């Protein structure tokens, strides 16, 4: 016998399991429409692959997983796609989410499924692919895509969770009573995905003797081929919340999952028993996940029990099928009394993770009494299975002190509600933690966004500064080049002047020399003279042209101003014309306003241009 460990705290609320375990698994009539949300799982919403009006067969893929953490969605029955639109989600927020609306044709005709007669020959990749194709997502309540969890490399222990510790819920209990063999086959199948697996455990609370017997029976009947791992059924004492992932791991192995880590970090993976069975059916028969066993219980119902229900069935339909007496009911709860949430709109559908619908009568689950001051009794800390300090968390949640909440490990809280359950002041502690977690996550998101914005802002500033600097540098360069040119010109002129003076004296000397040798000197002298005249003429021309340049500068400026004026005038004319046209056509007031403003602006510009022109003249 395996040693059973214990976890800290925990509570023993009334179990209320008998109401729903009397019957078997019943079925209900097909609803008039099925509402299949595209996001029933943790992760990205699936992408629809059908169109409005299209006819689909039972089991046909209607939405495809989007990315790695996502799940396929299949038609729960045959019929027509009526819409892909926003419908109320099965969610505490009551928000609407994109859903595929399917109108059943009543024939319930299956698409051809790809079964596999020898699942034991499949390798790990093939099994994971089939599980992924079938759109499996955790059926114990969290709805995490199953195939993602099967990717863990270094897993030694596979645990099937059959603890079902929350009061009222018996979906897994009933499932085990009927389909224990399939659950075990599913366990063996999933085990083969992990190459280093050493043990397969099934954790179940001792308040389900029938389910345990059924499991044992199936285990004895299981053909022992010798090359499979033995499955061990571990019966744990009934204590809420033994079915919490970390708590069950502690119970069965004595190991604690480190804060902020997933069980895979210590070589453990956990799957719900219903998920294991669905995995078996997906691989063996090619059946996608289109229905589930859900406990529908509470005194406000005529018939309590477990039903096999199609994913997407509106809760209202389930309720009417089970004789719901609205007058007696206090609220409609999805999930159990500890961790469930009330919904307002019963048109919300049953989804892959809906394990229970609780319809308590007013006496059965009265509204919580008003909250009173904390008396610091410490009962909450004693009850907390995560070994947190709920009282401290409560104070810091009220003070919205995110730093302290983190320091007190608020994210290790599994929202089990044990603390609220024991609190003598009936403080809805979990509500505070849920809200606080939400605000912290939001703050983190905002922070990420603002950091991003800061980076982008700074990058832009830098870019602009750089562009400015470049412009400035270019301007400086041009200025320098201009100065350089000026200087050179001046130098050249100076040099030329002295050179001409020099040549003049030289030539004078020459001429005296030349006069000595008269016949040779004559033509030289002439040439030099004409040379000088030419130079003088050129200089004069240059000077004159420079003067002209000056006068043409002013002229140019004048011309520019004139051009500016005329273009401003023509703009004004055009603006007036559009305004008139719009007035005739009867455009709306704001448009006319803007046009009128434009005319004013143009008038202003014309005046400005005129003034400038006058000043220049």
Partner 1 sequence: MIDILLQHPFISALVALGLLAGTFGAVLGFASVKFKVEGDPLVDQIDELLPQTQCGQCGHPGCRPYAQGIVNGEAINKCPPGGQATINALADLLDVEAPSLDEEHGQEDIKKVAFIREDECIGCTKCIQACPVDAILGAAKQMHTVIAAECTGCDLCVEPCPVDCIDMIPVESTLSDWHWELPNPAQIIATDRQNQEESQAA
Give the residues lining the site for ligand SF4 (CB under 6 A).
374-380, 383-386, 388, 390-391, 394, 413-419, 422-425, 427, 429-430, 433
Interface pattern 382-421 for partner 1 (x via CB under 8 A): ---------------xx-----------------------
Q: Considering only residues 27, 115, 259, 372, which one is a binding residue for partner 1 as defined by CB under 8 A? A: 372
Q: Within its chain, how far is the Cα of 334 from the centroid?
A: 25
Task: Using DSSP, state whether 373 is helix, strand or coil.
Answer: coil
* Residue 529 touches which of ligand SF4, partner 1, none (Cβ within 5-8 Å per kind): none
Does 89 participate in binding partner 1 (rule CB under 8 A)?
A: yes
Nearest-10 Cα torsion for 531, 534, 540, 546: -110
* Residue 424 touches which of partner 1, ligand SF4, none (Cβ within 5-8 Å per kind): ligand SF4
Interface pattern 39-68 for partner 1 (x via CB under 8 A): x-----------------------------
| Closest to 101 in 3D by CA, of 350, 312, 290 | 312
| CB 157 to ligand SF4: min, Å | 23
* Residue 370 touches which of partner 1, ligand SF4, none (Cβ within 5-8 Å per kind): partner 1
Only one residue has tokens 């499949």, namely 122
Task: Using DSSP, state whether 415 is helix, strand or coil.
Answer: coil
Residue 298 CA to residue 127 CA, distance in Å, equals 39
Residue 400 carries which DSSP code? Answer: T
Does 92 participate in binding partner 1 (rule CB under 8 A)?
A: yes
* Residue 366 touches which of partner 1, ligand SF4, none (Cβ within 5-8 Å per kind): none
Pairing verdict, β 199-205 and 157-162: parallel
| CB 410 to ligand SF4: min, Å | 8
Tell me the Cα Rg of the chain: 44
Residue 407 CA to residue 534 CA, distance in Å, equals 96
Residues 441 to 460 in contact with partner 1, rule: CB under 8 A:
441-442, 445-446, 449-454, 456-460
Question: Residue 21 or residue 391: which is nearer to ligand SF4 going by CB?
Answer: 391
Q: Considering only residues 13, 151, 286, 428, which one is a binding residue for partner 1 as defined by CB under 8 A? A: 428
Q: Considering only residues 371, 510, 569, 603, which one is a binding residue for partner 1 as defined by CB under 8 A? A: 371
Interface pattern 228-247 for partner 1 (x via CB under 8 A): --------------------
HEC letters along 159-219: EEEECCCCCCCCHHHHHHHHHHHHHHHHHHHHHCCCCCCCEEEEEEECCCHHHHHHHHHHH
Determine whether 477 is exposed, middle or buried from the number of CB atoms within 10 Å of its CB (0-12, 13-18, 19+): exposed
* Residue 251 touches which of partner 1, ligand SF4, none (Cβ within 5-8 Å per kind): none
* Residue 454 touches which of ligand SF4, partner 1, none (Cβ within 5-8 Å per kind): partner 1
The helices-and-strands tally (H runs, E runs) of the chain is 15, 17
Does 589 participate in binding partner 1 (rule CB under 8 A)?
A: no
- Per-residue burial over 504-530, b = 16 or more CB atoms within 10 Å of its CB, e = otherwise: eeebeeeeeebeeeeeebeeeeeebee
Question: Residue 424 or residue 438: which is nearer to partner 1 going by CB?
Answer: 438
Question: Residue 93 or residue 530: which is nearer to partner 1 going by CB?
Answer: 93
* Residue 439 touches which of partner 1, ligand SF4, none (Cβ within 5-8 Å per kind): partner 1
Determine whether 542 is exposed, middle or buried from the number of CB atoms within 10 Å of its CB (0-12, 13-18, 19+): exposed
* Residue 261 touches which of ligand SF4, partner 1, none (Cβ within 5-8 Å per kind): none
| Closest to 270 in 3D by CA, of 153, 413, 138, 122 | 138
* Residue 441 touches which of partner 1, ligand SF4, none (Cβ within 5-8 Å per kind): partner 1
| CB 407 to ligand SF4: min, Å | 15
- Centre a 10 Å sphere on the Cβ of residue 317 and count the other Cβ atoms it contains: 23
Q: Which residues bind partner 1 (CB under 8 A)?
A: 39, 89, 91-93, 95, 97, 367, 370-373, 397-398, 427-428, 431-432, 434-439, 441-442, 445-446, 449-454, 456-461
């Amino acid at each position: 016998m395996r040693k059973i460990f214990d976890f800290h705290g925990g509570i023993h609320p009334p179990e209320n399991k008998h109401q729903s375990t009397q019957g078997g698994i019943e079925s209900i009539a097909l609803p008039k429409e099925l509402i299949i949300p595209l996001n029933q799982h943790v992760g990205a919403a699936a992408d629809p692959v059908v169109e409005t009006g299209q006819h689909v067969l039972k089991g046909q893929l209607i939405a495809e997983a989007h990315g790695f953490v996502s799940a396929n969605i299949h038609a729960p029955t045959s019929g027509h796609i009526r819409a892909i639109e926003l419908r109320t989600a099965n969610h505490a927020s009551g928000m609407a989410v994109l859903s595929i609306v399917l109108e059943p044709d009543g024939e319930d005709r299956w698409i051809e499924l790809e079964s596999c007669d020898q699942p034991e020959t499949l390798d790990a990749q093939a099994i994971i692919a089939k599980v992924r194709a079938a759109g499996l997502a955790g059926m114990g309540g969290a709805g995490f895509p199953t195939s993602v969890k099967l990717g863990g490399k270094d897993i030694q222990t596979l645990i099937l969770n059959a603890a079902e510790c929350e009061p009222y819920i018996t979906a897994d209990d009933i499932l085990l009573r009927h389909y224990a063999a399939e659950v075990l086959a599913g366990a063996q199948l999933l085990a083969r995905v992990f190459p280093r697996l050493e043990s397969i455990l099934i954790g179940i609370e001792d308040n389900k003797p029938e389910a345990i017997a059924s499991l044992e029976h199936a285990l004895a009947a299981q053909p022992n081929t010798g090359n499979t791992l033995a499955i061990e059924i571990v019966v744990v004492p009934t204590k809420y919340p033994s079915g919490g992932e970390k708590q069950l791991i502690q119970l069965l192995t004595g190991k604690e999952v480190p804060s902020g880590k997933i069980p895979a970090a210590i070589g453990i993976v956990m799957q719900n028993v219903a998920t294991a069975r669905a995995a078996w059916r997906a691989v063996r028969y090619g059946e996608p996940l289109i229905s589930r066993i859900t406990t529908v219980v509470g005194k406000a119902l005529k018939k309590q029990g477990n039903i096999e229900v199609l994913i997407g069935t509106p809760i209202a339909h389930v309720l009417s099928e089970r004789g719901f007496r609205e007058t007696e009911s206090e609220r409609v709860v999805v999930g159990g009394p500890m961790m469930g949430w009330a919904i307002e709109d019963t048109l919300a559908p049953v989804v892959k993770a809906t394990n229970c619908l609780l319809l308590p009568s007013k006496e059965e689950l009265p509204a919580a009494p008003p909250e009173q001051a904390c008396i610091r009794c410490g009962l909450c800390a004693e009850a907390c299975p995560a070994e947190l300090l709920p009282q401290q968390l409560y104070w810091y949640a009220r003070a919205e002190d995110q730093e302290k909440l983190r320091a007190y490990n608020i994210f290790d809280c599994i929202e089990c509600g044990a603390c609220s359950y024991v609190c003598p002041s009936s403080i809805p502690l979990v509500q505070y933690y849920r809200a606080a977690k939400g605000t912290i996550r939001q703050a983190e998101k905002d922070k990420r966004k603002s950091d991003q914005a800061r980076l982008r802002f700074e990058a832009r500033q830098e870019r602009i500064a750089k562009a400015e600097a470049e412009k400035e540098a270019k301007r400086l360069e041009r200025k320098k080049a201009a100065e350089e040119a000026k200087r050179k010109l001046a130098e050249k002129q100076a040099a030329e002047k002295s050179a001409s003076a020099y040549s003049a004296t030289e030539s004078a000397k020459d001429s005296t020399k030349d006069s000595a040798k008269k016949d040779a000197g004559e033509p030289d002298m002439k040439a030099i003279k004409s040379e000088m005249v030419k130079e003088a003429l050129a200089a004069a021309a240059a000077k004159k042209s420079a003067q002209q340049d000056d006068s043409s500068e002013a002229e140019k400026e004048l011309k520019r101003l004139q051009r500016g004026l005329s273009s401003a005038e023509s703009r004004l004319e055009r603006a007036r014309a559009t305004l008139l046209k719009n007035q005739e056509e009867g455009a709306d007031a704001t448009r006319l306003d803007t046009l009128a403003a434009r005319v004013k602006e143009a008038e202003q510009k014309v005046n400005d241009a005129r003034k400038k022109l006058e000043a220049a003249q």
